[in-house]
Structure 1
């Protein structure tokens, strides 16, 4: 960003200052203001400083004056301003000639000038220059101020920042999984933000601003590789994106950091607008899903009209994905933004609609190509990734997921939703080790209704094994019978799974057959028992 010495000298505050020498260097860039009155203090200047001094050190040491000017010029400092009337009544002619020769601005400051006022004047000039540029840019594009298009607004910020810094600017939108760059360079858009935030090669991470987590990433394996300045765009406690600046041989400086901070503020504001609109849309999505699933629409026409307003393609096939959290202390509505963030990470935004039906249950309508809808493995992988990410965001949460079958018309999505619910409720007992089950995986168990396991009905179904429950070792007998059946009636395999001797398994199975009068040689009897044992847990929950 910066300002030039020429711009500073033309400002109102510096009108009373005189340019003594070095007019050819008035276009030198200022990136910071520094005070100098220690004998060796100049040795720590790194370039582009506008140096203020009383001249105390130079009153008897013209040689030091000359060394300082040469050093600052070589470091590409912007210039030096001296209170001539304080200690130096006049500047030696040799110093004036030197400054003219090397085009290094030498300026006289009035005696009464306060350091803080001079520093603030330069800082304000640099900051206001960037703010004015933003306002002018916004004025030119005021027709776009009513839109909440992240792409348009983000590109405007990148363009302004590029013109200010003269460097390539990138924005990685984590929510949409997209990359924007200015100038538009396709190869940068193919990068993933993790490749630059946490690269696989050896790198050095330099802190530029710890509070805003601005870092410089330098490749230690390839000295020719460019460095990147990275900055997370955080809305609430969600990382919505990353702003990156590609550095060349010239590093960004103090006023550049201020430009970055302003760009950060603008981008956070833009993202907040997007999140606000998404939260409003989210409420409408909840209502639509509740109404369509609970059958509150009286005509298909109203469903199609509402679906169109939510940008749903009613010509596509959809399936319902139900995700449930059983911990009543966790209310999903409080995590809506995190849920949306994670959903759009794994699902294409234009193919998914989600809503919260209850405090602990969400539903996702997913529209995809028929090949994908029929391939349970692909859908399960996407859902599993979503669940794992969400469990990282919400402490102590444990989600279970059910996936219904695809429906040709969104009007009938309730059918797929009920299938996803059944996949959770019945699948939990068939596959207790799984947290994600498809309706298709239930197989013939999809014919079972949960209501069948309530009260007396279920007790009648378990009459055959009721005698086992009266035994002191009843729990061991039930576990042995269940494991034996799951081991295809193989004593040795069941013994290995139970970590007991095979003779113990034989003894228990014989005891079970005597107590319950069972014929385990009958395949149908074995199937009935295996199903009953699968759902024994229902008895404990009803």
Structure 2
């Protein structure tokens, strides 16, 4: 990628530069500059250069350019500029004819222009042209989760890279696990070389790696074919897009024809910076949007009917429909050494990287508690969604949190009823109850569903009382003889305290049942006249797996 000779000469700086030959070649692209101050300097020309000369070499070796044309080294260049009035008063006609014949523009330039200033102007022209191509216009209507903006801008930049450089480009977004291509050519080349997408940043084949710019970790990766070391080698340029020390995506440009040149590398850096800007803009918008949503949620949790108009107004500002139905999940961070809310940015990154971030929203309720909302419509649109899917997604989120915070531990209480934000207060209370009671009844778990609590979802047992009752049962169950007593008590209560029916169901004599109940009464001090106490005991016994002395895994 470079700049056409004609386009360069249209700039104000070059108004005193005059084309004296080769006008039919003004479309040619300049991809670098070379000084011709020695007769054989063109031996090292790579092609597509702009040749600069004071005329000294032509004054000393008048035939050097003709020899360069004969050897073919001149034909690959894009144009030549010679300072007028320094060493040559007049360009020989034979040279003008050669430049016309090979359609290479020959340009006279002012004598006073320093080479460094000229090269700087050319570089600036290329830079400005590239920036215009890659420019991402601001979007005043950007919403919190407006992924179309991100997709639109990424695709535009990738297409510009391929149009400008003729090299296909690719971005892999780690959070979305999504690929973006400049054109189908990139995918076709990938398949033709037997590569997978992850090979671009973690090659599974032997390769070499050469750093092009350590500041942005820009590198060239070339594959090695051990069976054909002299054969062709596929190579690409890769730059990770990093924010807050976390890799968000990989930007890859395939060197499908040849190595990128000086101006190509320049363009890649500009494209990378533009892409980085897009990701930063999206992250800022998401973080701001998350805070706005969180503030709205706190208002919804506290609002009364007299605040209904204000609630709808705040929802409209945030672009939220209060009629959208959600499944609700309350999370709790258990490690007292952490304040999860103080780690908001990293915490939210983990959420966005998980699949939960694609279908839900998250907000903190206080320092270590928060709410996750899964949009019901997106759940129903997934044909693979089952009752266990929510649990699987939460476990994945736990893994992402574990990668960022080694000792952070999350617990979840799930209410799978689908309710709108107008009912968020009721749903949060249910989830909080699931968290408290689930951790007591099923301490070996860290994800609990409302349905797991059975009758405990509608009966209130104080937390301390519940813990004490379960503690007594667990201590009793440490002795095998007590397990049979508790099992007898469970069946006895289920059958309205009828000794005969209990004995029949357990295939033992009625007197055996009487003795067992007397022993149980000594162990747990049952108030048989208290109907509520008996009901609590009967409910808790439902959660004991009395066959092997462990809590039931529900």
With the shorter chain as reference, the TM-score category is 0.5 to 0.7
Aligned to 2:399: 388
Cα gap change, 1:462/1:426 in structure 2, threshold over 3 Å: closer, same or farther? closer
Q: 1:483 & 1:463 partners in 2: Cα distance?
A: 10
Q: Does residue 126 in structure 1 map to residue 134 in structure 2? A: no
Q: 1:243 & 1:213 partners in 2: Cα distance?
A: 11
Cα gap change, 1:518/1:229 in structure 2, threshold over 3 Å: closer, same or farther? same
Unaligned runs of 5+ in 1: 466-477, 490-516, 536-542
Q: 1:325 aligns with which of 322, 333, 350?
A: 333
Structure 2 contact 31–49 (Cα < 8 Å) conserved: yes
Q: 2:370 aligns with which of 339, 362, 370?
A: 362
Aligned to 1:112: 112
SS in 2 for 1:421: helix
Cα displacement string for residues 200-237 of structure 1 (whole angstroms, at most 9, x for unaligned residues): 55555554433233344556579899765444444454
Q: 1:23 & 1:341 partners in 2: Cα distance?
A: 56
Q: 1:44 & 1:431 partners in 2: Cα distance?
A: 76
* CA RMSD, Structure 1 to Structure 2 (Å): 5.3
Aligned to 2:296: 288
Aligned to 1:501: none
Q: 2:355 & 2:203 partners in 1: Cα distance?
A: 25
Aligned to 1:399: 410
Q: Does residue 51 in structure 1 map to residue 51 in structure 2? A: yes
Query: CA offset at residue 69 of structure 1?
Result: 5.7
Q: 1:112 & 1:217 partners in 2: Cα distance?
A: 44
Cα gap change, 1:35/1:358 in structure 2, threshold over 3 Å: closer, same or farther? farther
Q: 1:274 aligns with which of 257, 282, 300?
A: 282
Q: How does 1:430-469 map to 2 (within 5 A)?
A: 434-441=445-452, 451-453=462-464
TM-score (norm 1): 0.67
Query: CA offset at residue 173 of structure 1?
Result: 5.0
Cα gap change, 1:458/1:21 in structure 2, threshold over 3 Å: closer, same or farther? closer
Query: CA offset at residue 402 of structure 1?
Result: 3.1
Q: How does 1:183-198 map to 2 (within 5 A)?
A: 194=198, 196-198=200-202
Query: CA offset at residue 378 of structure 1?
Result: 1.2
Aligned residues: 484
Query: CA offset at residue 103 of structure 1?
Result: 3.7
SS in 2 for 1:121: helix
Structure 1 contact 407–413 (Cα < 8 Å) conserved: no
Query: CA offset at residue 61 of structure 1?
Result: 5.6
Cα gap change, 1:419/1:71 in structure 2, threshold over 3 Å: closer, same or farther? farther
Cα displacement string for residues 346-403 of structure 1 (whole angstroms, at most 9, x for unaligned residues): 4466742221111222210113346989944211111111221133234543333333
Cα gap change, 1:44/1:445 in structure 2, threshold over 3 Å: closer, same or farther? farther
Q: 2:433 & 2:102 partners in 1: Cα distance?
A: 83
Aligned to 2:214: 210
Aligned to 1:31: 31
Cα gap change, 1:408/1:211 in structure 2, threshold over 3 Å: closer, same or farther? same
Cα displacement string for residues 321-340 of structure 1 (whole angstroms, at most 9, x for unaligned residues): 22222345544345444444
Structure 1 contact 73–102 (Cα < 8 Å) conserved: no
Q: 1:32 & 1:407 partners in 2: Cα distance?
A: 63
Q: 1:104 & 1:61 partners in 2: Cα distance?
A: 20
Cα gap change, 1:79/1:71 in structure 2, threshold over 3 Å: closer, same or farther? farther
Q: 2:315 & 2:124 partners in 1: Cα distance?
A: 52
Structure 2 contact 303–311 (Cα < 8 Å) conserved: no
Cα displacement string for residues 86-121 of structure 1 (whole angstroms, at most 9, x for unaligned residues): 677877877666555444445555543312111112
Cα gap change, 1:436/1:201 in structure 2, threshold over 3 Å: closer, same or farther? farther
Query: CA offset at residue 294 of structure 1?
Result: 5.2
Q: 2:375 & 2:140 partners in 1: Cα distance?
A: 32
Aligned to 2:267: 259
Aligned to 2:431: 420
Aligned to 2:528: none
Structure 2 contact 86–111 (Cα < 8 Å) conserved: yes
SS in 2 for 1:275: helix
Cα displacement string for residues 421-446 of structure 1 (whole angstroms, at most 9, x for unaligned residues): 34444444555554444344456776
Cα displacement string for residues 286-339 of structure 1 (whole angstroms, at most 9, x for unaligned residues): 133334445656677876776676555666653222222234554434544444
Q: Which moved more, 1:83-92 or 1:234-243?
A: 83-92
Cα gap change, 1:257/1:335 in structure 2, threshold over 3 Å: closer, same or farther? farther
Q: 1:464 & 1:183 partners in 2: Cα distance?
A: 66
Q: Which moved more, 1:379-388 or 1:407-416?
A: 407-416
Structure 1 contact 355–364 (Cα < 8 Å) conserved: yes
Structure 1 contact 318–413 (Cα < 8 Å) conserved: no
Structure 1 contact 231–242 (Cα < 8 Å) conserved: yes
Unaligned runs of 5+ in 2: 144-148, 485-521, 525-537
Structure 2 contact 414–449 (Cα < 8 Å) conserved: yes
Structure 1 contact 391–399 (Cα < 8 Å) conserved: no
Q: 2:342 & 2:44 partners in 1: Cα distance?
A: 51
SS in 1 for 2:365: strand
Q: 2:478 & 2:35 partners in 1: Cα distance?
A: 82
SS in 1 for 2:329: strand
